[in-house]
Structure 1
Amino acid sequence: PEEYVVCRVLQQNADSIIKEYELYEKLSADRFDANHEDHGLVSAPRLRGKWKYLHLLRENEGWDDELCASYFPITCRVLRETAPVDGVLRTDRQGNSLDCTGFCHAMRRPGPVAFYKLEAGASVPLHSGPTNQRLKCQLVVKAPPGGYAWLEVMGERRVVNKGDVYGLDDSYLHQVYNGGGLNKNETRVVLDVSFWHPGLQVIP
């Protein structure tokens, strides 16, 4: 993942981001909801009730300034300063992208920035994103230790642990699982960050 600037940002700031999330859990009422808001997601109806989401950045509404200021100032600042996340693609005078077609024409941003929470014993079946014109990096901010949570992409399964950072082309079929740990009561939470493919020209 180090080849992607977004993954490097998550790695470099992982401790601060995890601390902010842990403090949020202690101080705030649960503001997660079931609205994914990644409108190009394939098989989205099958995912309802699985993941829950806490959005820092919504595709059409922008950053949640209140949530950022109150609980996630470092997280939001470092990602706002990262052009592939919050930058716009080069366009002509008509607003058409100069670098890609299809998915990128329909969206000003590559996708949301959000914490994804998966309860103990829950899984998300095979699904995929809309395009490889955008990629994702994820930071695992909470997970049961001991191999109880995993991510599988195109048949390759990897155990995930707290502090892990990985890149993901979510246009490939993938699925996730959270066994919940020895007592089957631990949630799995990742910070999911969509960003434009490095091959595209992004303007901060």
Structure 2
Amino acid sequence: ASSSTRRTLLWMIMALFPCLGVGYERSMKDLQRIYTEAVKAMQKDGGEKIALPKLALVSKEASKMPRSDDSKKLVLGASEGLVRIYRRQGNLKKAIKHLKKGIRFDDRNPQFPAELGHIYHKINLHEQALKAYTLASQRAPSDPHILYFMADSKLAIQPPDLESARADLEESLRLLEEKGVPAMEIQGKKTLVWARVIESLGTTLQLLNQTEKSLETFQMAVDMGIWQSKYRRFHQKRWTEVTNIRPLYDYSQPGYPNELATKLEESHQAIWEEFNAASISFEPEFEALSTSGDWKVFPIIDVPRSSDARSIVWSEGVAKQFPTVTSILSKSKQFKACVEILGVCDAYLSKLTPGTKIRSHCGPTNLRQRIHLALKAPSECCWIRVADKEPRTWQEGKVLVFDDAYEHEVWHNSSHPDTNPDSSEHTSFGIMDRIILSVDVWHPGIVDPRIREKLGAGELEQVQAEAATTRTTLDFAHEEL
């Protein structure tokens, strides 16, 4: 027999014959002491380094003991602590390992399978996420949160299971109401569960081509005081009070990012030439928002994924191949503040092929504005709709500024083949592709004094003053809103 088998037999003998079980009791007490030390260490700054080996030891040794309430508690407690540490470290492989261990040792608690689903969903393994959420739902069939996450996975799998997701979300809403879950706050803290479920259900109805029903669903959250507009929806925490809001910004209106927009338009030709000379590879857009065709992006910056100190980090090869873009953005106070202070900024090249449809959606935050510089825009076949405004087209060399917190959708109606007959010019796009440079800046209407202080009150007033001026040096073709 193996050493592990012999050891397990020894534990069993000690458990059956108390007179021989002194070693077992001593080991259990030792493991409980080590576990308590680990828990206390995790409550202190930097204590995770001390706690990690202790929790690993407890998890390993307690799992070898005969199953009892004490050994089970140790295994589950250690697994929970290890998962928390490994997730913070970004070591998802080990986090998954200990979540699966927790699932094996506790066949009733939905916490471990639900957390496993969260990790799989985060790394876009949506089928595995659905299996984990389904197990969690079997263990807690009346949990509206788990039903929401299960539906979210069904929507992410291609093709999405729309009717099943709809049923889960409607049941989740019913349970939220039945349980009396507050729409806005729980114990003084904002809750987003209603917003998430309503947003997801409305989106599902849109995908089912039930537009009227989806708007009625979104209006439900407005009536509950969750959102101010059915077209401006949030379901994440990166949301604050903002004034001077509108779906689209014209150059003559307050809030328009005048300085950066001017620089981008003036440099359009140079940026286009750099793009044509560059050797880049577009990659699929990771949020799976396109329902047909092909939407791909090339990142200009590496987007920060944590709350640590941020700085602009150019994606590989960008600084060398796009010197005009990096020069303009590195000098823009609005762009730098959006990256370094708010952490909600993005910049990328976007390619849309003929026949592509990007479904209606809202951005994750209202802290920013989005600028599109059209590098290549086939006329009268590419459109964007923001909120309930008339759809607009892009014009090459011009910028389009909008608040992506509002619902927006994009479509490319051309049926022209997506090919480029002159392969010597460029091989990464077709003659009818729409190509834009998308850049985010912080929203000048942010009210929160803590954010204003971080941004720098003086700079804020300066940019707002610049935004209120009109430009006459360039020939604009924008319509008044």
The TM-score by the shorter chain falls in which range? 0.7 to 0.9
* Cα distance in 2, alignment partners of residues 20 and 58 from structure 1: 20
In the alignment, which residue of structure 1 is the partner of 2:334?
84
The correspondence for 2:364, drawn from 122, 130, 137, is 130
Report Cα offsets for 1:100-121 as digits up to 9, x if no partner.
xxxxxxx743321100111111
Number of equivalenced pairs: 175
Would you say 1:150 and 2:383 are equivalent positions? yes
SS in 2 for 1:63: coil
Give every structure 1 segment of 4 or more consecutive aligned residues whose post-TM-superposition deviation is greater than 4 Å.
Answer: none
Aligned match of 1:117: 351
The answer on 1:32 being equivalent to 2:265 is no
Match of 1:55 among 278, 299, 306: 299
Indicate whether 1:140 and 2:383 are aligned.
no
What is the Cα deviation at residue 35 of structure 1?
Answer: 4.3
Q: TM-score, normalized by length of structure 1?
A: 0.74
Contact 2:275 2:322 in 1 (8 A): yes
For the pair 1:9 / 2:9, whether they are aligned, the reply is no
- Among the aligned pairs, what percent are the same residue? 25
Alpha-carbon separation, structure 1, partners of 2:339 and 2:328: 20
CA distance in 1, matches of 2:296, 2:288: 14
CA separation in 2, counterparts of 1:88 and 1:151?
24
| Structure with the greater alpha carbon radius of gyration | 2
Q: Contact 2:374–2:437 at 8 Å: present in 1 too?
A: yes
The answer to whether structure 1 residue 71 and structure 2 residue 71 are counterparts is no
- How far apart, in 1, do the equivalents of 2:273 and 2:282 lie? 18
Which consecutive residues of structure 1, in runs of 5 or more, have no partner in the other structure? 37-43, 91-106
Query: Is the counterpart of residue 46 in structure 1 residue 289 in structure 2?
Result: yes
**Maintained 8 Å contact 1:85/1:110:** no
Query: How many angstroms apart in 1 are the aligned matches of 2:285 and 2:352?
Result: 14
Distance change >3 Å, CA 46–CA 89, structure 1 → 2: closer
RMSD over aligned CA atoms reads 2.6
Equivalence map 1:156-195=2 (5 Å): 156-180=390-414, 183-185=416-418, 186-195=432-441
Unaligned runs of 5+ in 2: 1-249, 306-311, 419-431, 447-451, 460-481
Q: Within 1, Cα distance between the matches of 2:302 and 2:414?
A: 28
Report the residue type matching 2:334 in the other structure. Answer: P
Q: Which amino acid aligns with 1:166?
A: L
For 2:349 and 2:283, locate their aligned partners in 1 and report how far apart those are by CA, in whole Å: 11
SS at match of 1:10: helix
How far does residue 51 in structure 1 lie from its aligned partner after superposition? 2.3
Q: Give how far 1:68 is off.
A: 2.3
Q: TM-score normalised to the size of structure 2?
A: 0.33
Provide the secondary structure at the position in 2 that maps to 1:16: helix
Distance in 2 separating the partners of 1:54 and 1:168: 21
CA distance in 1, matches of 2:325, 2:363: 24
Residue 178 of structure 1, CA deviation = 1.5
**8 Å CA contact 2:339, 2:345 repeated in 1:** no
Alpha-carbon offset, residue 6 of structure 1: 2.7
| Rounded Cα–Cα distance in structure 1 between residues aligned with 2:411 and 2:338 | 33
Q: Which has the higher helix share?
A: 2
Report deviation, 1:160. 1.7
Higher RCO, 1 vs 2 (CA within 8 Å, ≥6 residues apart): 1
